[in-house]
Amino acid sequence: MRFIGNKENLLDNIHQVVLSTGINSGVFCDFFSGTANVGRFFKKKGFQIISSDLLYFSYVLQEAYIRNNLEPSFKKLLSKIKPDKVALLMTPLELVCSYLNNLNGKKGFIYKHYTIEGTADSKSPRRYFTGENGMKIDAIRQQIEEWKSHKLTKESEYYILLACLIESVPFYANISGVYAAFLKTYDPRALKKLAIRPIQIHQGVGENKVFNKNSMDLVSNLEADILYLDPPYNERQYAPNYHLLETIAKYDNPEIRGITGMRNYDNQKSEFCNEKSALQALDRIARESKYKYLLLSYNSEGIMPQNAIESTLGKYGDVQLIEIDYRRFRSNSNGDAPNKKLIREQIYLLRHR
């Protein structure tokens, strides 16, 4: 999934930093989970994972990838439905996804508010999805919820199906990278017929814990070998950039506003989007949490200055800084100059004294 600050291309670098501590198993806490990529990676490496995020769609991904350890059987559901497309050796998840992909579209909340056809009579029609794909999203989302209400899916199976939908939607969204705006004309990607894709399930070594809350509320109760922080780097809040994924995940018919159909996100704001409150929050995490090592992923353009970060963390142990050059997120690209497209990832490693 395209996500600001996504660490997919830096996972090996982060892993090498973790290995440098001498710790190769134990409890890994992913404090700002986002797409759950980091937690997923360290789960596969044999760590027990604790993860949290304010955004509900992130929580869905955490439930499916982190908390869940088993391939879904959909035993009860598959005794009630007959997928149109059945091939030899298809997994239960593939069978259910095939059934969902063959549903007739419905003119639900997404169609009515985020497609040109559904918003044709408004002052500012929205072009996030084609009408066909908007109806398909509505049909799939409503069906997943109906199965849950009729107790045809287990809790883990419900989140797995939601994750399949959430992971698939970005491949058909008419956006440049985030959902804070839609493109004026259709990108070729958005014109393709939507089909959800099965996610990959990862087995873990034990019970993993996931939370949908402000991670700062967990600080005093956290205990981990590795405490990994990947907070926002600038003043832009994450919630408005991913409001549409949040609405698809919750499917709660929210009140929306503005040209982009934004949902209210007053309760989903991060302290790390302001320099002063970010440093205060960082200090509290380092002071109150229980951990052997704290890793902070940041970058050279973040609102917290390097010297202030080192000074804050340095109060609680020895700090080492590892820097890595990589390409910035596309929607944040600034001009065509190569130096403007590169950004420096900064990994601060604090050994707790």
Structure confidence at residue 8 (pLDDT): 74
Handedness of CA 210, 213, 216, 217 (dihedral sign): negative
pLDDT in tens, 251-292: 999 999 999 999 999 888 899 999 999 999 999 999 999 999
Structure confidence at residue 240 (pLDDT): 86
The pTM for the full model equals 0.92
Structure confidence at residue 202 (pLDDT): 87
Q: Is the pLDDT of residue 26 over 60?
A: yes
**How much is the mean pLDDT over the chain?**
91
Q: Is the pLDDT of residue 343 over 80?
A: no
Average pLDDT over residues 302-317: 96
Structure confidence at residue 333 (pLDDT): 41
Structure confidence at residue 30 (pLDDT): 96
Tokens of 255: 């009140």
H-state helical runs in 108-172: 109-114, 131-149, 155-168
pLDDT confidence of 299, banded at 50, 70, 90? confident
Contacts 24+ apart (CB under 8 A), 253-261: 253/109, 256/113, 259/124, 259/126, 260/126, 260/179, 260/180, 260/181, 260/182, 261/113, 261/114, 261/126, 261/128
pLDDT confidence of 124, banded at 50, 70, 90? confident
Q: Quote the CATH superfamily of domain 1-27+37-51+203-232+290-353.
A: Vaccinia Virus protein VP39 (3.40.50.150)
Tokens of 139: 């049909």
Tokens of 244: 């549409």
pLDDT confidence of 1, banded at 50, 70, 90? low
Among 137-146, 267-276, 340-349, the range with the most confident prediction by mean pLDDT is 137-146
pLDDT in tens, 63-102: 999 999 999 999 999 999 977 666 678 999 999 999 999 9
What share of the chain has pLDDT > 90, as a percent?
80
pLDDT in tens, 192-208: 999 999 999 988 878 99
Q: Which runs of E-coded beta strand occur in the chain?
A: 26-30, 47-52, 209-211, 223-229, 256-257, 262-263, 290-299, 317-327, 342-352
User: CA-to-CA distance for 178 and 246, rounded, in angstroms?
Assistant: 12
Spans of all domains in the chain: 1-27+37-51+203-232+290-353, 70-201+237-269
pLDDT confidence of 337, banded at 50, 70, 90? very low
Nearby residues of 249 by Cβ (< 8 Å), 6 or more positions away = 56, 57, 60, 162, 166
Structure confidence at residue 336 (pLDDT): 44
Structure confidence at residue 58 (pLDDT): 96
pLDDT confidence of 340, banded at 50, 70, 90? low
Q: Is the pLDDT of residue 7 over 90?
A: no
Contacts 24+ apart (CB under 8 A), 100-106: 100/140, 100/143, 100/144, 100/161, 100/196, 101/140, 101/195, 101/196, 103/136, 103/139, 103/140, 103/143, 104/139, 105/132, 105/134, 105/135, 105/136, 105/138, 105/139, 106/135, 106/138, 106/139, 106/142
Among 5-19, 144-158, 228-242, 312-326, the range with the most confident prediction by mean pLDDT is 144-158
